Structure 1
Amino acid sequence: MSDRGRILKALLVVSAWLVASAVACGEIEAAGASKKRFKEAPQFYNSPDCPPAPPDGPSALCSPSAVHVAMTLDSPYLRGSMAAILSILQHSSCPQNVAFHFVTSPSNASRIRSAVAASFPYLRFETLPFDPSRVSRLISASIRPALDSPLNYARSYLPSLLPSCLSKVVYLDSDLVLVDDITDLASTPLPRPLVLAAPEYCNANLTAYFTQAFWSDRRLSSAFDGRRPCYFNTGVMVIDLDRWRKGRHTEEIERWMEVQKRVRIYELGSLPPFLLVFGGRIAGVDHRWNQHGLGGDNYRGLCRDLHPGPVSLLHWSGKGKPWVRLDKGRPCPLDALWAPYDLLQPPFNLD
């Protein structure tokens, strides 16, 4: 067995014990998100060779010395978001140089801000309300109702939501954890004129992401002419915000969503418009930053194993989410790698 295999096996054994204990004791409750309470996370400090941390206050959210991370936070995924934040800080060599920008619905902004501040009182972050009406009229039903949430489309509006002083951001989904330094991901090269970098999978069947109505209409399918588009994962992206703003790419995405309202050209939420606008025009992110599909497919969410290769980020993309499977007492083996980052407060004192 390789060193990687032995390490993962050890992690699985230890974490599986923790998961089994939590489920057996009834630690994880299936109550609504409004009743969930999260523990305070430990504070993490910069290593001696880090650049000076940005000063406290609003200026930190514009600091060019910070690694800027954007995430969408909503009630059903808040538990996953808290785990993701903890994993980023725990594995960063310069955690005090990470600034977070959380996009949420206006109705949840205050509660989510309070929850994050209670668990991470030292965190440099802001909450950015996203008005659902900006996109709700453009959303078409997809194969998974969870993908129809307006917040699922908020990533398309990041350049206008984030402070204009920001020129670069790392966007991350809420169903993942990092086990490596986010600075390395943020340093992914973005040569001109490319707008974003993401994990790209050219062995995937791109035609499956669009309907026959799309491929049979040359007025539509010609959008890919002159390009070699590949599927890429929008849950892990490094974005040049200035180039996006200049290229008015949000408007491009919206135009494809308007086409979708007239002629059903895809089935899967917010991903296909990204493929139409950026497919074949992105920088690749090393696959170690997206051990994806751990949530199974979009229909059943069955358990899956890790892909071959190194691991820097574990991503439960797909229908199955680790916290849901833990709540039901039927976790997949790899959910044990997520469990140590779970900050959900037990409903009783285990002592």
Structure 2
Amino acid sequence: MFKCIEEKMTWFIEISSFMITISIVIILAYPFLPSYPPAEAIKSSDSNPDPLFNYKQSPNFKNSPKCSIIPTSSISTKICNPSLVHISMTLDIKFLRGSVAAIHSIHQHCHCPENLFFHFISSDTNLEPHLEKIFPFLAFKIYYFSPGIVQNKISSSIRQALEHPLNYARNYLADLLEPCVERVIYLDSDIIVVDDISNLWRISLGSTTLGSPEYCHANFTNYFTPKFWSHKKFSRAFHGQRPCYFNTGVMVIDLTKWRKYRYTRKLERWMKIQRVHRIYELGSLPPFLLVFAGKIVPIDQRWNQHGLGGDNLSGSCRNIHAGPVSLLHWSGGGKPWLRLDSGNSCPLDELWARYDLHG
């Protein structure tokens, strides 16, 4: 009898702990969750629609009365309009669900959503009509990125996913986007924004080319191999600097300065050295650290609560860091849509699910 009572008490404690965790997520999310009309299902004439493109249509988000009026104009005119907030993301079929949720969250929390323009980079040629169906109101352009540009420049990484050519598209934003685009926010596809993206856009870069949240408590030496640190011709890249780790999933970039100082070529130079000398293990991130660490504008860490993807091997769940939250980032091996579909989600994945339009 006592054993039965003990088992029931154990079960009760586990359920109570789970409910407390869910409650914390709801409390965290509540201030950021305004009410909007439910998304509408996209009607298809195809009796067997591809499940990859089975999305609901997003609500049409309108500017609040306090927004400056942006005259209705053609896409070609909006591309060069410096009064708009310019955002760049990659589009890939495998991560499309994440991108759609990210776009949805950005619009839902933006006071002036009609003042946004998206610059999408993709190696797929058939995503535009699907995106137009999901977001009929969206102002955007898709730029084609040829994998061949980096195919012979990529070295093997600790995770195969990091070797995907599209991960390196951010290196080429200044070349891909029109010369008239002077500034852009770059965002990864596994993020959710719970603040007005205009607040990030307005951050001053001064004379600097790039801004991103810095994490100076991280052990910077871990991002490079012992061979890198033992050779002065490599490690002198940080001479006179106080380099800190920053995550390239959230960056504000002055494209005019980027083009002027030819930073794409500098990133490619380090990629070439890597293929010969193996000085790092982490894909597209280390070249950015080599070129920009210690030379960026540090943005408030609320704009990149990263690492929520946790460890895909152990299936561990991560909590957000202490402090305010403007952007949640599921960097790491575990993606929220995959964990939700598998029935093995983490508490914060339920917050991501609010913006999911798939299904």
TM superposition score category, shorter chain reference? 0.7 to 0.9
1:214 maps onto 2:237 in alignment: no
2:114 pairs with 96, 121, 125, which one?
A: 96
Contact 1:33 1:75 in 2 (8 A): no
Work out the CA distance in 2 between the residues paired with 1:251 and 1:230: 22
Work out the CA distance in 1 between the residues paired with 2:276 and 2:283: 15
Match of 2:92 in 1: 74
1:261 pairs with 275, 289, 296, which one?
A: 275
Work out the CA distance in 1 between the residues paired with 2:339 and 2:98: 12
226-235 or 45-54: which moved more? Answer: 45-54
Contact 2:304 2:328 in 1 (8 A): yes
Contact 2:53 2:130 in 1 (8 A): no
Compared CA separation, residues 299 and 54, structure 1 to 2 (3 A)? farther
- What SS does the aligned partner of 2:58 have? coil
Match of 1:122 in 2: 137
Mind listing any 5+ residue stretches in structure 1 that lack a counterpart?
14-31, 346-351
Work out the CA distance in 2 between the residues paired with 1:149 and 1:6: 37
1:38 maps onto 2:38 in alignment: no
Work out the CA distance in 1 between the residues paired with 2:80 and 2:182: 9
Compared CA separation, residues 307 and 7, structure 1 to 2 (3 A)? same
Work out the CA distance in 1 between the residues paired with 2:342 and 2:224: 34
Q: How big is each residue's C-alpha offset from its partner over 1:106-131, in whole Å with a ceiling of 9 and x where there is no partner?
A: xx22x211111000011100000001
- What SS does the aligned partner of 1:45 have? coil
2:69 pairs with 34, 49, 52, which one?
A: 52
Work out the CA distance in 2 between the residues paired with 1:342 and 1:298: 21
1:285 maps onto 2:299 in alignment: yes
Match of 1:197 in 2: 211
Q: How big is each residue's C-alpha offset from its partner over 1:27-82, in whole Å with a ceiling of 9 and x where there is no partner?
A: xxxxx987331110001100111111243312111111100000001011000000
- What SS does the aligned partner of 2:111 have? coil
1:328 maps onto 2:345 in alignment: no
- What SS does the aligned partner of 1:87 have? helix
Q: How big is each residue's C-alpha offset from its partner over 1:257-289, in whole Å with a ceiling of 9 and x where there is no partner?
A: 000000110000100000000000000111111
1:314 maps onto 2:328 in alignment: yes
Bigger relative CO (Cα 8 Å, ≥ 6 apart): 1
User: Which amino acid in structure 2 is aligned with residue 66 of structure 1?
Assistant: L
Work out the CA distance in 2 between the residues paired with 1:6 and 1:52: 40
Work out the CA distance in 2 between the residues paired with 1:140 and 1:9: 42
User: Which amino acid in structure 1 is aligned with residue 168 of structure 2?
Assistant: Y
Contact 2:62 2:113 in 1 (8 A): yes
TM-score, normalised to structure 1's length? 0.88
Map 1:124-139 to 2 at 5 A.
Answer: 124-139=139-154
User: Which amino acid in structure 2 is aligned with residue 182 of structure 1?
Assistant: I
**Structure 1 residue 302 displacement after superposition:** 2.0
Work out the CA distance in 2 between the residues paired with 1:162 and 1:243: 14
**Structure 1 residue 327 displacement after superposition:** 1.3
Structure showing greater radius of gyration is 2
What's the RMSD between the two structures over aligned residues? 1.8
Compared CA separation, residues 36 and 165, structure 1 to 2 (3 A)? same
1:225 maps onto 2:243 in alignment: no
